[in-house]
Each structure stands twice: as structure tokens, then as C-alpha cells.
Amino acid sequence: MTMYRSIAAFASATRIICVAGSSSARSAAFLSSPSALLQLDPTCTSIVGNVRTCPPASTNARFQAAAGGAAAAVAATGAEARCMSTSSSDSSDGVGKPAEFVKLADPAPGSPFHYAFPVHDLDAAKKFYGDVLGCAEGRSSPKWQDFSLNGHQIVCHWVGNDYRCQDYFNPVDGDEVPVPHTGLALTEDEFHALAERVRDAGVEFIIEPHLRFKGQPGEQWTMFFKDPSGNNLEFKAMTTIDNLFAKYNVVD
């Protein structure tokens, strides 16, 4: 097991670099040159072994990872610390070509779901899911983009400029609910914060935020709106989260 006297020595030996700042600044510095990485996170000082990646500092102040059988601990307090790796064992083409990456989000606990959907304009989708909804970006190509939706993997796929979601409707507690749709079950605080964020961005609600199934086991806050390609999104918040899967017959 090799001990390194400083983060610079470790970075040189393992090609792992911890930087602070915005994602664009980190990416620009990383892709430019090692000498451009002037904002080394001073908290990333306790490093042993060959750590491959590390999570956002806001998620975990200190973590342990195993790589090649060697344990490692990284102190990563401070906002927006990230690790970037160009380890030769990370290959995008399977032939040893280094893969450059930055980790901007952690997966949700348990079994994160994966949802892929069509869009007509990838740039518009990136602005909507990234800027309006605040989803962190993951992998991408010229024709698709991964996002973290609260740690769940959603993927926008460009399918042509003419695409728009075809809507069907079903009545639910007095609302004409558009189908298909997808979204998340949030906490009540998260729900109201998101509703304000969406409203401030000028996004039109198909169904305004409101409380439905009042007084029933399934009582919940709900709202519906569309992305730029017309894909329907519903975000809800159960007033009693344990009742998310309460089984009973609903009378419309």
C-alpha cells in the first residue's frame, strides 16, 4: 500500500483530481490540462491507495472505497467537491482508451429506476431538465442525454424534430389526467418548492398544484406539466407517505 505525501503527489500517481467550483469550471479545467486545475479541494488530504471516484461532498463528508483490493478514505467536506478520473482501466471503447468523467450526482438508495423517452430537441430538453428541474447531467452523446432525477436515471433520446407526445386522457378525482406521464413522489416540502420553481420558470401547468383525494388514504398533492417535447410529467406528494401503496377501491 502506497502512502502519498500530498494530494498533488497522489493525483500525479493515480490521475485522480479533486476540484471545487461549478461543474462547467471543473470540466473546463479538467479537459484543459493538469496545470489548469488550480482549485484543488484542500479538504481532500487523507488519501491512501488507488481511489477511483468519490461522491459529492454534500452527500458524505468522509467515505471509504475499495479499488484493486486497497481500502481508501477521502475527507471531502466543503461544498461542491468532485473527483475526476482518467484511469486507464476506465475505457469507453473497451480497448484501454482513457475515459474522462466527472461525477455530479449519486444514485438513489435501493434500486434506482431507468426511464428513457423521446424528445424533438435535445438542447431544449437539456435546458428544461437541467435548468428548470435541476437534474444533474450524466453520460451523453450527440443524440441522447442522461440525467439524475433525484438519483434515478432518466434519458432524453432525440428521435426527430417532428416528435410531440400524443396525449390520451383519463378522469382522476375530477381532473382530466394526461397519459402517458411519469414523475416522482416527493415530500410535501419538496413538492411545494418544485411547484414554485416551475412556476417561476414560466412553465404552464396542465393541472395546477392542488390536493386531491381529500380525506382518503390516498390523499396527495399533485401537479402536471409538459417538457418542451410535450412529454407529460406528474409530481406528487402523499400527505401520508406510508399510504403510497394503500390498496382500496377509488370511486371517481
In this predicted model, which residue has the larger pLDDT, 127 or 19? 127
pLDDT at 96: 64
Residue with cell 394503500: 246
**pLDDT tens digits for range 124-175:** 999 999 999 999 999 999 999 999 999 999 999 999 999 999 999 999 999 9
pLDDT at 189: 98
pLDDT at 34: 36
Mean pLDDT of 102-106: 92
* Phi, psi angles (nearest 5°) of residue 140: -155, 165
**pLDDT tens digits for range 191-250:** 999 999 999 999 999 999 999 999 999 999 999 999 999 999 999 999 999 999 999 999
Distance CA 213, CA 66 (A): 48
| pLDDT mean across residues, the chain | 74
Distance CA 194, CA 223 (A): 10
What is the longest distance spanned by two Cα atoms in the chain?
A: 68
User: Residue 115 corresponds to which amino acid?
Assistant: Y
DSSP 3-state of 47: coil
The closest of 120, 68, 108 to 90, measured between CA atoms, is: 68
The region of weakest confidence among 28-37, 67-76, 196-205 is 67-76
Residue with cell 380525506: 215
Whether 43 has a pLDDT exceeding 60, the answer reads no
Whether 13 has a pLDDT exceeding 70, the answer reads no
DSSP 167: P
pLDDT at 100: 79
The region of weakest confidence among 6-15, 98-107, 130-139 is 6-15
DSSP 3-state of 122: helix
Degrees to nearest 5, angle at CA 79 with 57 and 85: 50
Q: How confident is the model at residue 91 (pLDDT cuts 50, 70, 90)?
A: very low
**pLDDT tens digits for range 159-171:** 999 999 999 999 9
Alpha carbon dihedral 108, 27, 22, 158, in 10-degree steps, equals: -60
Distance CA 129, CA 116 (A): 13
Q: What is the pTM of this model?
A: 0.65
The length of the chain, given as a count of residues: 252
DSSP β-ladder status, 232-238 and 181-185:
parallel
**pLDDT tens digits for range 46-69:** 333 333 334 443 333 322 332 333
User: Residue 87 corresponds to which amino acid?
Assistant: S
DSSP β-ladder status, 220-226 and 16-19:
unpaired
DSSP 3-state of 205: strand
Distance CA 91, CA 193 (A): 39
Q: Are 218 and 242 in contact (CB under 8 A)?
A: no
